[in-house]
């Protein structure tokens, strides 16, 4: 049984990885400036490099693909943790308002920093994930305060509270963006829709430390998410400090969300869809669900970004809108399924 499970996990990860490579390949060669397969390979392997090709690949397309993958991995894993901790299959950092809280904190930073969150200023770029973490924590704290009842989380109130908190933070973000200069307002509006158009290697550098530190912690505590599906009293009887471990897991997931929102804006539904698809593919054990969910999240964001920049060319949609077109029907499907 264990051997079959491992084989299933390995096969699933192999297939998803191949799909990511194929999607990334098409994203590399497609765009306003089309490139042949030979030109892409020569550029990547530094065979007779051409400056124009270097600019397109290394300054525009490759950072965008890498950012899409990192954001997808982070949101997929964070969604798995949030669903596991809350025991709610409809929970997601976007739906619960955590994305909106992180986004509002970053908009506040943009407002006081005159929107200069791109370019060569390392301070602003490296500070964004920290502001995202603070905003996400504030949103999560408010959600848990209003959803707490008789010493435990009331799951029936959690979703409604999250939607309300998210709407409030969204309204605050819109108000602050309206107070910005016209150029900053345009940047903030596009960013809040969820976009990786302005991806660069500095944004990647700002995300990587958070992922390198937080994802191993989550992976190490994956067994707890399996135990959390039991009654709380049963988990405590095993000698596990539920409150302490829950706080650690939520801090890690919110940290990943904050880092993602800081470079991509408010991209929702990835953390909702990825865990469900992962559990359907490899089962319910979180030691396997977490990496598969991260891989599926990466595939979703990379594929959605490819659609956003090619299907509607020469116009380009924010990747968050493309994912929402897929995510909203999926959310409604899960909601109907839960009621049934």
Sole residue written with tokens 């944004």: 203
Asked if residues 97 and 163 have their Cβ atoms less than 8 Å apart, the reply is yes
pLDDT given at position 150: 74
pLDDT given at position 193: 81
Sole residue written with tokens 């107070």: 179
Backbone angles phi, psi at 153, to 5 degrees: -75, 130
- Alpha helices in the chain, H assignment, sequence order: 2-29, 37-44, 51-54, 62-86, 98-112, 122-147, 155-178, 182-192, 201-220, 222-227, 232-237, 242-264, 270-282, 286-310, 319-339
Looking at the DSSP assignment, which residues form a beta bridge with residue 153?
Answer: 148
Round to whole Å and give the CA distance between 225 and 158.
18
**Residue 312 CA to its chain's centroid (Å):** 23
pLDDT given at position 265: 87
Asked if residues 46 and 187 have their Cβ atoms less than 8 Å apart, the reply is no
Provide DSSP, 293-325.
HHHHHHHHHHHHHHHHHHTTTTS---HHHHHHH
Domains for the chain: give ranges and CATH numbers: 2-7+24-339 (1.10.3470.10)
Sole residue written with tokens 């809108």: 321
Asked if residues 275 and 79 have their Cβ atoms less than 8 Å apart, the reply is yes
**Residue 60: enclosing H or E segment and its boundaries?**
none
Tokens of 151: 């010493």
**Residue 63 CA to its chain's centroid (Å):** 16
User: Which residues in the chain come in under a pLDDT of 50?
Assistant: 119
pTM comes to: 0.92
pLDDT given at position 2: 60
Asked if residues 208 and 71 have their Cβ atoms less than 8 Å apart, the reply is no
In angstroms, the Cα distances linking 2 to 8, 42, 129 are 10, 44, 39
């Amino acid at each position: 049984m264990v051997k079959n499970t491992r084989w299933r996990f390995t096969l699933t990860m192999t297939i998803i990885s191949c799909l990511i490579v194929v999607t990334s390949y098409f994203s590399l060669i497609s765009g306003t400036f089309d490139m042949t397969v030979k030109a892409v390979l020569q550029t990547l392997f530094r065979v007779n490099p051409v400056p124009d090709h270097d600019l397109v690949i290394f300054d525009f397309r490759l950072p965008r693909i890498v950012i899409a993958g990192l954001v997808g991995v982070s949101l997929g894993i964070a969604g798995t943790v949030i669903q596991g901790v809350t025991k709610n299959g409809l929970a997601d950092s976007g739906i619960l308002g955590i994305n909106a809280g992180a986004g509002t904190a970053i908009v506040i930073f943009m407002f006081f920093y005159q929107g200069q969150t791109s370019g060569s200023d390392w301070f602003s770029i490296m500070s964004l994930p920290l502001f995202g973490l603070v905003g996400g924590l504030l949103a999560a704290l408010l959600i848990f305060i209003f959803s707490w009842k008789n010493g435990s989380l009331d799951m029936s109130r959690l979703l409604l509270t999250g939607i309300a908190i998210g709407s409030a933070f969204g309204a605050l973000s819109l108000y602050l963006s309206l107070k910005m200069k016209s150029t900053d307002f345009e940047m903030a509006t596009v960013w809040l829709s969820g976009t990786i158009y302005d991806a660069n290697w500095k944004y990647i550098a700002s995300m990587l430390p958070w992922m390198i530190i937080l994802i191993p912690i989550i992976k190490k505590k994956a067994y707890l998410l399996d135990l959390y599906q039991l009654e709380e009293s049963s988990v405590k009887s095993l000698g596990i400090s539920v409150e302490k471990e829950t706080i650690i897991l939520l801090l890690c997931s919110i940290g990943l969300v904050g880092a993602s929102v800081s470079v991509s804006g408010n991209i929702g539904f990835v953390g909702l869809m990825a865990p469900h698809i992962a559990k359907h593919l490899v089962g319910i054990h979180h030691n396997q669900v977490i990496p598969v969910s991260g891989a599926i999240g990466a595939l979703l964001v990379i594929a959605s970004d490819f659609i956003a920049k090619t299907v509607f060319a020469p116009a380009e949609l924010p990747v968050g809108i493309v994912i929402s077109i897929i995510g909203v029907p999926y959310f409604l499907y899960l909601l109907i399924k839960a009621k049934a």
